[in-house]
């Protein structure tokens, strides 16, 4: 187990280096000048040259790359050209909101995907209706689904809020940055309920596509497992179909669904950028959208690196979860 974890950590470092190289090369080939973006169009040539020297942009490219990589491992992601603050500090402010949204999105995707897979494979009552509804939602583009949700659930029915994380402002602060957790720690159940209401629409829009993908893989795996000899033996002993599915078939079928979950997390992060823009969710997706028009490359690079590391970590946890769920698998 320790060897496997160390290998995965080494792979994460490799992915980070590749991402850093790609982002660094993109910064070099982009036609815009980050120094001009920072100082403005009216800056004098002397001020531009002085700032370029201060940021190290006048050094040879290999030296710039080494400085950039060493800064990453020190936690220095350069200075944002838009906010004039360290990118690390900006990410510390915006990242908790994205993690909270992504976490509830993953939970919702796993629950909906598991229900779709199990009910469809076991042919439980109502499985066909659930499948049609979920596939119908997943077929719509995520931005269209979000807009339809706002028009129906907010404007017409008034059931759910349309933007932001809460209507309570900054009444609850810290220590974790996750609003639902902080509200419970401060015993503010009103804030917790309000935060959950704000999470429902964006989390569902993020989760519905991955949920269908997870459900399809789980359904296929379960259908194959249900034809196995040990399942026939369990049925021959007189076990109910529900007990056969939950006690025997599900654990032996969950591996492919876990792998699909890890793959879908990466796609979910891509959807988060769009969803945060539509729902004005104050996360790193919203931060990225604000940074792109200002050619704030350090901010964009910081977000890219953080998402890349997060994707590797999630897939490592998925691999470990597969081994725990099915001891026949060997960590290698």
Q: Say whether the peptide bond before residue 175 is cis (omega within 30 degrees of 0).
A: yes
Rounded alpha-carbon distances, angstroms, from residue 265 to 151, 171, 173, 311, 331:
27, 31, 28, 7, 22
What percent of the chain clears pLDDT 90, i.e. is strictly above it?
8
Which two three-digit tokens encode residue 235? 């049925």
The pLDDT assigned to 329 comes to: 55
Domain-wise residue ranges, the chain:
2-73, 96-282
The pLDDT assigned to 5 comes to: 67
CB atoms within 10 A of CB 185: 14
Rounded alpha-carbon distances, angstroms, from residue 275 to 74, 99, 142, 211, 324:
31, 13, 8, 16, 33
Q: Say whether the peptide bond before residue 236 is cis (omega within 30 degrees of 0).
A: no
Is the pLDDT score of 323 beyond 70? no
DSSP letters spanning 11-60: HHHHHHHHHHHHHHHHHHH-SS-HHHHHH-TT--HHHHHHHHHHHTTTS-
User: Into which CATH architecture does domain 96-282 fall?
Assistant: Orthogonal Bundle (1.10)
Q: Could you tell me if 259 and 318 are in contact, meaning their C-beta atoms sit under 8 angstroms apart?
A: yes
The pLDDT assigned to 198 comes to: 92
Sequence-separated (6 or more) residues with CB below 8 Å from residue 167: 161, 194, 198
193-247 confidence digits (pLDDT tens): 999 999 999 999 888 888 888 888 888 888 787 777 777 787 777 777 677 777 7
Q: Work out whether the CA dihedral 198, 199, 205, 208 comes out positive or negative.
A: negative
pLDDT band of residue 17 (cuts 50, 70, 90) is: confident
How far apart CA 114 and CA 125 sit, in angstroms, is: 15
How far apart CA 262 and CA 266 sit, in angstroms, is: 7
The pLDDT assigned to 202 comes to: 92
pTM of the model: 0.79
The pLDDT assigned to 138 comes to: 78
The pLDDT assigned to 324 comes to: 65
Apex CA 88: angle with CA 100 and CA 307, to 5°? 50
CB atoms within 10 A of CB 47: 13
Sequence-separated (6 or more) residues with CB below 8 Å from residue 305: 16, 19, 20, 23, 72, 77
């Amino acid at each position: 187990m320790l060897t496997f974890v160390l290998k995965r950590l080494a792979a994460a470092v490799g992915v980070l280096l590749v991402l850093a190289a790609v982002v660094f090369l993109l910064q070099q080939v982009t036609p815009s000048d980050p120094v001009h973006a920072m100082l403005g169009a009216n800056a004098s040539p002397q001020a531009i040259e002085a700032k370029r020297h201060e940021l190290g942009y006048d050094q040879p490219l290999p030296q710039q790359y080494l400085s950039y990589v060493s800064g990453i491992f020190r936690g220095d992601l350069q200075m944002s050209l838009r906010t004039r603050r360290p990118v690390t500090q900006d990410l510390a402010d915006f990242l908790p909101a994205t993690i909270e949204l992504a976490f509830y999105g993953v939970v919702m995707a796993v629950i909906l995907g598991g229900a779709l897979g199990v009910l469809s494979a076991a042919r439980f009552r109502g499985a066909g209706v659930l499948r049609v509804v979920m596939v119908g939602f997943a077929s719509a583009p995520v931005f269209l689904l979000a807009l339809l949700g706002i028009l129906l659930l907010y404007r017409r029915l008034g059931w759910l809020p349309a933007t932001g994380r809460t209507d309570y402002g900054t009444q609850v602060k810290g220590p974790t940055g996750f609003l639902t957790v902080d509200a419970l720690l401060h015993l503010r159940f009103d804030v917790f309920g309000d935060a959950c209401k704000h999470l429902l629409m964006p989390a569902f829009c993020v989760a519905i596509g991955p949920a269908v993908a997870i459900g399809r893989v789980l359904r296929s795996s379960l259908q194959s497992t249900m034809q196995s000899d040990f399942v026939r033996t369990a049925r021959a002993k007189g076990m109910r179909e529900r007990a056969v599915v939950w006690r025997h078939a599900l654990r032996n079928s969950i591996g492919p669904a876990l792998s699909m979950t890890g793959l879908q997390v990466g796609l979910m992060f891509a959807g988060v950028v769009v969803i945060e823009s539509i729902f004005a969710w104050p996360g790193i997706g919203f931060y990225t959208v604000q940074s792109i028009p200002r050619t704030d490359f350090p901010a964009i690079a910081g977000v890219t690196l953080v998402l890349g590391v997060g994707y590797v970590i999630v897939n490592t946890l998925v691999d470990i979860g597969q081994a725990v769920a099915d001891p026949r698998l060997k960590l290698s």
